[in-house]
Amino acid sequence: MCQNILYFSCKKKKNLPFPPLMASFKTMISILMQFSITAPCLLWRSRTHIFYMFLLLLSLFFLSTSFNQRSPNALALALATRLRFAADYIASFTSVSSSNTCIVSDVRSNCTLSSVTAVERTPGNSLEDGNDVIKDLSSCDIFNGNWVLDDSRPAYIPGSCPYVDDSFNCFKNGRVDFSYVRYRWKPFDCQIPRFNGRKMLEMLRGKRLVFVGDSLNRNMWESLVCSLRESLKDKRRLFEVSSRNEYRTQGFFSLRFQDYQCTIDFIKSPFLVQEWKISDKSEIRRETLRLDMIQGSKYSNADIIVFNTGHWWTHQKTGKGKNYFQEGSHVYDRMEVKEAFTKALKTWAQWVDSNIDRKHTRVFFAGYSSSHFRKGQWDTGGNCHGETEPISNETSLAPYPWMMSILESVISEMKTPVFYLNITKMTAYRKDGHPSIYRPLEIPRTPGMFQDCSHWCLPGVPDFWNELLYAALLISGHDLPNND
């Protein structure tokens, strides 16, 4: 297979200078020799190894299909890097161990998920034991932990899910290491259950789950859709209710899992409150942000809603706050962004308390997802390229975002129970998980290019936000709304 790819590459580009490629091809040949010696005795020890072999072959396919967008030298180097990773990965195994699976349950303090409990799952103590298990649990904070190496396969195969936005598809865009999919979030004091797509689809049977927020929530939505899709026996039974063009024009995307009669939607609402346009005295239209008006309300009857906001409040126009924030017909000459953010969240909280049926709808709020720009921001040369490991020392993490303190204060005063998915700390560790320079192929990779150090590669970090969401639904599964 690899020899065929090498032959095709050389034959396709007859007129290319061959000598500069020799070092890369020589490296690749030596790795193939190492691989042929190492793989046979180790490859078949687990299905995980088979998965990574498939991943390797798929990566070679993506690289070969993108040949025209890459220099031959870069292609050869990428192939060599991926082969070396596969060889090193397989050689690193001497045994395969399995970990206990546990379940979690919350202690409903202020109706948040800042505290949960855990217990081991044994043959006599299964998830179906329900209240008997929950009653015996001890307290545990699932958001306080660290990332540990875990060589089980990711929730879905990199490059396999058609619902991953090209901007998040680092594998397809040529990232040559797979380290970002080899870590798993582990709380310090307990274990959380691994994501089980079929079980979650059963919990969602006949229901509507809606993500409302910015592109980080879209990151999470795509991750969940792909994780659930992976569990389907017939993936043709997943349908688009709305078109991709409808998302581009209206900010709405809906998918339906037909066999489970459930839909999972994403609604773009980066501020949660309404973006607006007004005309000034010279009849020039300009943008404002209505702090007193929620954006859209087509989801108030959903069974589960996951909100978020945050990153758009750090943009230049929002941060300056000049002639931008509006209440009623009044546009403020200037307002500090903290005050505006507080007003917007209180508008959101009042809308939730007034429009959400607490007996029917479960409300979640995903916290601030950390960025990792070095030497600038996204538009001033900030970068995160070359990071391959999480931050290991908690003292090196960025300060807790001011926005989350405001959010926690607003949530604590609400009548509606809001399950707070406090992902800030867990994302603060993962400086290695961003797309960085691995943007869609039509974006040229040049010095000084904009790097994405805010969003996340998929599969990757957001898969574990959904694992926490899954855990939260498990611990309260005994009283999920029933639509039958």
User: For this structure, is 106 an active site residue?
Assistant: no
> With contact defined as beta carbons under 8 Å apart, do 59 and 434 qualify?
no
Interatomic CA distance for residues 167 and 60, integer angstroms:
20
Interatomic CA distance for residues 157 and 230, integer angstroms:
8
For residues 161-192, one letter each, b for 16 or more C-beta atoms within 10 angstroms of the residue's C-beta and e for the rest, the string is bebbeebbbbbbbbbbebebbbbbbbbeebbb
Q: Which of 432, 452, 454, 476 is catalytic?
A: 452
Interatomic CA distance for residues 60 and 78, integer angstroms:
9
User: For this structure, is 455 an active site residue?
Assistant: yes
- CA-nearest of 166, 273, 163 to 214 is 273
Interatomic CA distance for residues 385 and 390, integer angstroms:
13
Biggest CA–CA distance in the chain, Å, is: 78
Q: Which of 24, 59, 105, 215 is catalytic?
A: 215
User: For this structure, is 141 an active site residue?
Assistant: no
Handedness of CA 320, 326, 367, 227 (dihedral sign): negative
Q: Which of 214, 311, 455, 476 is catalytic?
A: 455
The three-state secondary structure class of 94 is: coil
Residue with tokens 């949660």: 272
φ/ψ region of 272 (left if φ > 0, alpha if ψ in -120 to 50, else beta) reads: left
List the catalytic residues: 215, 452, 455
